Structure 1
Amino acid sequence: MNVEAALTHDPERRRDLAHVGPVELYTPVLEASRDFFVNQMALTEVGRDERSVYLHAWDDYQSWTLRLIEREQAGVGTTFLRAASAGAYERMRAAIEASGQRVDLDDGVRGLGEVTRFADPDGHPMAVYWDVDWYEAGDGDRPSLKNQAAAFPGRGANVRRLDHVNYLTKDVPNTSRFLSEVLGARCTERIVTDEGEDAAIWYSLGNKSYDLVYTEDWTGANGRLHHIAFATDTREDILRAADVMLEAGIHIETGPHKHAIQQTFFLYVWEPGGNRIELCNAGARLILAPDWKTISWTAAERAKGQAWGLKTIDTFHTHGTPLV
Structure 2
Amino acid sequence: MNSRPEPIYAIAQLGHAELLTPRPEESVAFFTEVYGLTLVGEDPGRAHLRAWNDDVLTSLTLTGAPEAGLGHVAWRATSPQALERRVAALEKHGVEGAWHDGDFGHGKAYRYTGVGGHVQEVYFETEKYVPPPGEAPALPNQPQRFAPKGAAAARIDHINLLVPDVVEASRFQQEALGFKLRERLVPAGGDEVGAWLSVMTKAHDLALTKEPAPTTGRLHHLAYAVPETSDVIRAADVFLENDVFIEFGPAKHSRTQGFFLYVYEPGGNRVEVFTGGIHIFAPDFETVTWDAESKGRGTAWGLGVPESFHTHATPPFGGASA
The answer for the alignment partner of 1:218 in structure 2 is 212
| Match for residue 36 of structure 1 among 26, 30, 35 | 30
Q: TM-score, with normalisation over the residues of structure 1?
A: 0.94
Is structure 2 residue 85 aligned with structure 1 residue 91?
yes
| Match for residue 133 of structure 2 among 139, 158, 161 | 139
Change in 2 beyond 3 A, CA 1:180/1:195: farther
The answer for the alignment partner of 1:122 in structure 2 is 116
Partners in 2 of 1:142 and 1:74 — Cα distance? 35
SS at 1:287 equivalent: coil
Partners in 2 of 1:185 and 1:200 — Cα distance? 15
The answer for the alignment partner of 2:158 in structure 1 is 164
- Amino acid aligned to 1:254: F
Is structure 2 residue 243 aligned with structure 1 residue 252?
no
RMSD of aligned alpha carbons = 1.6
Partners in 1 of 2:293 and 2:80 — Cα distance? 44
Within 5 Å, which residues of 2 pair with 1:285-296? 285-296=278-289
Asked if structure 2 preserves the Cα contact closer than 8 Å seen for 1:83 and 1:128, the reply is yes
Partners in 2 of 1:141 and 1:310 — Cα distance? 41
The answer for the alignment partner of 1:306 in structure 2 is 299
SS at 1:89 equivalent: helix
CA deviations 1:46-86 (Å, max 9, x no partner) are 01111010001111111101000001100011111010111
Partners in 1 of 2:236 and 2:302 — Cα distance? 15
Partners in 1 of 2:186 and 2:303 — Cα distance? 23
Deviation of residue 194 (structure 1)? Answer: 2.5
Asked if structure 1 preserves the Cα contact closer than 8 Å seen for 2:115 and 2:172, the reply is yes
Partners in 1 of 2:8 and 2:207 — Cα distance? 21
Within 5 Å, which residues of 2 pair with 1:1-324? 10=5, 12-139=6-133, 141-195=135-189, 197-282=191-276, 285-299=278-292, 301=294, 303-324=296-317
Deviation of residue 108 (structure 1)? Answer: 3.4
Partners in 1 of 2:172 and 2:310 — Cα distance? 24
Deviation of residue 183 (structure 1)? Answer: 1.1
SS at 2:183 equivalent: strand
Change in 2 beyond 3 A, CA 1:196/1:254: closer
CA deviations 1:182-223 (Å, max 9, x no partner) are 111110001013346421000011111110111001113100
Structure 1 spans left out of the alignment, 5+ residues: none
Asked if structure 1 preserves the Cα contact closer than 8 Å seen for 2:11 and 2:77, the reply is yes
Asked if structure 1 preserves the Cα contact closer than 8 Å seen for 2:294 and 2:300, the reply is no
Partners in 2 of 1:34 and 1:300 — Cα distance? 36
Deviation of residue 122 (structure 1)? Answer: 1.0
Deviation of residue 102 (structure 1)? Answer: 1.0
Deviation of residue 157 (structure 1)? Answer: 1.0
SS at 1:33 equivalent: helix
Deviation of residue 88 (structure 1)? Answer: 0.3
Percentage identity across paired residues of the two chains: 41
Asked if structure 2 preserves the Cα contact closer than 8 Å seen for 1:191 and 1:302, the reply is no
SS at 1:177 equivalent: helix
- Amino acid aligned to 1:308: W
Deviation of residue 9 (structure 1)? Answer: 6.5
Asked if structure 1 preserves the Cα contact closer than 8 Å seen for 2:297 and 2:303, the reply is no
Partners in 1 of 2:14 and 2:247 — Cα distance? 25
Partners in 2 of 1:59 and 1:279 — Cα distance? 14
SS at 2:256 equivalent: helix
Asked if structure 2 preserves the Cα contact closer than 8 Å seen for 1:9 and 1:290, the reply is no
Deviation of residue 309 (structure 1)? Answer: 4.6
- Amino acid aligned to 2:28: R
SS at 1:203 equivalent: strand
Deviation of residue 139 (structure 1)? Answer: 2.6
